[in-house]
Structure 1
Amino acid sequence: MSTDQPGRRLDTPRQRRGPSFNLDSDIVGVYSERVARFLGTGRYLAIQTVVVIVWIALNLFAVSLRWDPYPFILLNLAFSTQAAYAAPLILLAQNRQENRDRIALDEDRMRAAQTKADTEFLARELAAVRLAVGDTVSRDYLRKELDDLIDELSERLGGNRADAPDDDTDSGHRHRR
């Protein structure tokens, strides 16, 4: 350590002296998009056309107000300055829009993949339900089987009563087929 700066360590960076200029890139991007949108409107073109016509008219016809004579060098300088600022602003706005489009595309892809997975799951579930329904007994089939059982029971009961012995010890406990 030097004697000039007691307590200063070599492993820590120096503090910046002077004003720091911190600029939030999102704020710059938002304002640049606003300017770029305005530059692309018909309103801006109309305002610019009126300003140019007034500029040229005043410099041609108002002899006492000629601040920019005929080759209109100052007007060309203004247009060059405007173009120098407009082009980067438009590029910045396009880059931000490209980033938003990329994020939206990624979200759309994830949403499509989730929808596809949900659709495949529902298709599998529907197939399982169809298989389960195919194995179940239909109402008509069950009704026919029950009617057949009732007919068979009534035949047996009717036939057994004629042949049945008088004591009830054996009836209903043994069935022969």
Structure 2
Amino acid sequence: MVRLRARHVLGDPGEMSNGPASHDRLDDAVAANLSALLEHRRKVERARTIHERIADRIARFAGTMYFAYAHAVLFGVWLVWNSIPGVPHWDPYPFVMLAMFASVEAIFLSTFVLVSQNRMAQLADQRADLDLQINLLSEREITRVLALACRIAVRLGVRDQPADVSDLQRDVDPRELLETIDEASAEDEEQRPHRQRSRRGPAPRP
């Protein structure tokens, strides 16, 4: 009797999960999410400045093996040509021009990489904020579903419920959770010197 009433309230799981309409709705939701993500990515790409585009392309090329092969060939030819006797040398040993060229190139490459990394870090922060918002919404939805399930259980006469079900039905306050994490981190930082001293043992007596 209880199973029949539960099926009447919640519906048949087989009909809910195996029907073609549910699959179509799921496919439509996935397609809509992918379309939104791709549109946002294209929007971000279009919003880049010319300086960011140049920095991204240089940083992307510098992270490939073609860049390493080109430098190996260039430096190899440079060193061999300026080491062969009897030919004109534009940078004889100790290859001061080559060292200066490599130093200047390293400065510019590090700048381009930092510019690209800063932009990627900004995008990562946005994705982290989006993940946090989705997690908070999911937690709120799960809390509502749990409260609804508890009401259904009470209506069906199910009395065997977890002791902490009332705590699970409460919404999580993100500010309170962040404050708790900060307090725990501060306490850990304060206790770290004491733990280090305890690991080292007592100081030797003079």
Shorter-normalised TM range: 0.5 to 0.7
| Larger helix percent | 2
Partner in structure 2 of residue 96 of structure 1: 119
Whole-Å Cα distance in 2 between the matches of residues 47 and 73 of structure 1?
Answer: 20
How far is 1:25 from its partner?
Answer: 5.7
Whole-Å Cα distance in 2 between the matches of residues 114 and 65 of structure 1?
Answer: 72
Whole-Å Cα distance in 2 between the matches of residues 27 and 44 of structure 1?
Answer: 22
- 1:110-149 residue CA offsets vs partner (Å, 9 max, x unmatched): 00000000100111111112222239xxxxxxxxxxxxxx
- 1:76-131 residue CA offsets vs partner (Å, 9 max, x unmatched): 22112201211111111111111111111100100000000010011111111222
Partner in structure 2 of residue 134 of structure 1: 157
How far is 1:43 from its partner?
Answer: 2.5
Residue aligned with 1:60, SS: coil
**RMSD, matched Cα:** 2.0
Partner in structure 1 of residue 92 of structure 2: 69
1:145-160 alignment to 2 at 5 Å?
none
Q: 2:109 aligns with which of 59, 62, 86?
A: 86
- 1:44-77 residue CA offsets vs partner (Å, 9 max, x unmatched): 1222111101111111116334221122122122
Alignment length, in residue pairs?
112
How far is 1:35 from its partner?
Answer: 1.1
TM-score, normalising length from structure 2?
A: 0.49
Q: For structure 1, which segment, 54-63 or 113-122, has the greater mean C-alpha deviation from structure 2 after superposition?
A: 54-63
Q: Which has the larger radius of gyration?
A: 1
Partner in structure 1 of residue 176 of structure 2: none
Q: Does 1:37 align with 2:56?
A: no
Q: For structure 1, which segment, 32-41 or 79-88, has the greater mean C-alpha deviation from structure 2 after superposition?
A: 32-41
Partner in structure 1 of residue 76 of structure 2: 53
TM-score, normalising length from structure 1?
A: 0.57
Give the letter for the 2:106 counterpart: A
Whole-Å Cα distance in 1 between the matches of residues 94 and 66 of structure 2?
Answer: 27
**Please, which runs of 5 or more residues in structure 2 have no aligned partner?**
1-46, 159-206
- 1:153-173 residue CA offsets vs partner (Å, 9 max, x unmatched): xxxxxxxxxxxxxxxxxxxxx
Whole-Å Cα distance in 1 between the matches of residues 131 and 85 of structure 2?
Answer: 61
